[in-house]
Homo-oligomer: A and B are copies of this chain.
């Protein structure tokens, strides 16, 4: 199993997943962490394991800006330092502390850095400004597959023509008329762009158009390492320079964080309607997840490249993302960090 790249920002949770005044316990990159917010608004992430007898700190309780272990009462502050011993006159053991990780709130998400803390520059958090102030429901699914298989899925949306044909009313436009462009940009992003010009509209859009009217459609996915993606979808009346939109353009987060080597936190959102919730449930949980999990099981623990995968042109962007991660991993192996 390839180790995770550590000197990167990963999404730990949506900020609103942490109960006010409380704690959130979450396994991330194979290790249990506890997340909480101080009274001054700063966030903290600690190893979710007391150094005394290894009880999860999240089974304790908050006392001000500290956590008290629920087993024997030691208290830890947001830097991980032990600051309380419940025995009268007990004193604080020298150097007692739990691991603390850099964590930053940005764009409604809590991003943490599992690598060398001295390298943790929040400027490296990918831009998800579009998330701010949205009325959408921020949600999360736990998927039973290695996170790179989910990246493959998202970086090649041609699968929608097969796996989601009923949910999305796809009609072969991408397969028959799609022009694929793979680009990088200065932010370090890899873009996978599908553009379909002057094509028949998908089923769901037909009621909004004249019979026979054609559309320009675009499906653009942006990827930042390790697996933070943003999807941009648009549908415009043809020959309007993409100016007359049939529906407002959509921007969606698709952000992945490994829980373990075989399970993945999948962060996304949906509109705050029952229909949108049910559609997300159908598409992600009933269509994508079983297929990706089945593929993961079929790999039977063998590494992706060792299986000599068949390469199609449509894999271009997904493979470029995989190679970027391989490069980052190789760099970390060559120069191990302090973490």
Residues of A within 8 A of B (CB): 32, 48-56, 59-60, 68-74, 82, 85-88, 90, 93, 96, 149, 152, 156, 158-159, 161-163, 175-178, 290-291, 294-296, 298-299, 307-315
Contact = CB atoms under 8 A, between A and B. Distances in A.
Nearest to A61: B162
A198 B158 CA distance: 75
Nearest to A58: B294
Contact of A312 (B90, B149, B156, B310): B90
Contact of A294 (B56, B73, B295): B56
Contact of A313 (B32, B90, B310): B90
A199 to B, nearest CB: 12
Contacts of A294: 55-56, 59
B314 A177 contact: no
**4 nearest A-B pairs in the assembled complex, by CB-CB distance:** A54-B295, A51-B310, A49-B298, A52-B310
Given A53-B309, A87-B158, A87-B175, A72 B298 contact: no
Given A53-B152, A60-B162, 19 more contacts: A48-B298, A49-B295, A49-B298, A51-B310, A53-B149, A53-B309, A54-B296, A54-B309, A59-B291, A68-B162, A71-B295, A72-B156, A72-B158, A85-B312, A86-B161, A86-B162, A87-B158, A90-B312, A93-B310
Contact of A162 (B54, B71, B299, B309): B71
A60 to B, nearest CB: 8
Count of this chain's copies in the oligomeric assembly: 3
A314 B72 contact: yes
Nearest to A177: B88
B298 A56 contact: yes
B53 A295 contact: yes
A70 B310 contact: no
Contact of A86 (B54, B88, B175, B296): B175
Contacts of A86: 161-162, 175
B88 A175 contact: yes
A82 B312 CA distance: 12
10 contacts: A32-B298, A49-B298, A51-B308, A53-B295, A53-B309, A54-B299, A70-B163, A87-B175, A90-B313, A93-B312
B312 A52 contact: yes
A93 B313 CA distance: 10
Contacts of A149: 53
A291 B13 CA distance: 24
A308 B96 CA distance: 11
A90 B175 CA distance: 9
A158 B53 CA distance: 13
B152 A312 contact: no
A74 B162 CA distance: 10
B163 A87 contact: no
A219 to B, nearest CB: 15
A295 B163 contact: no
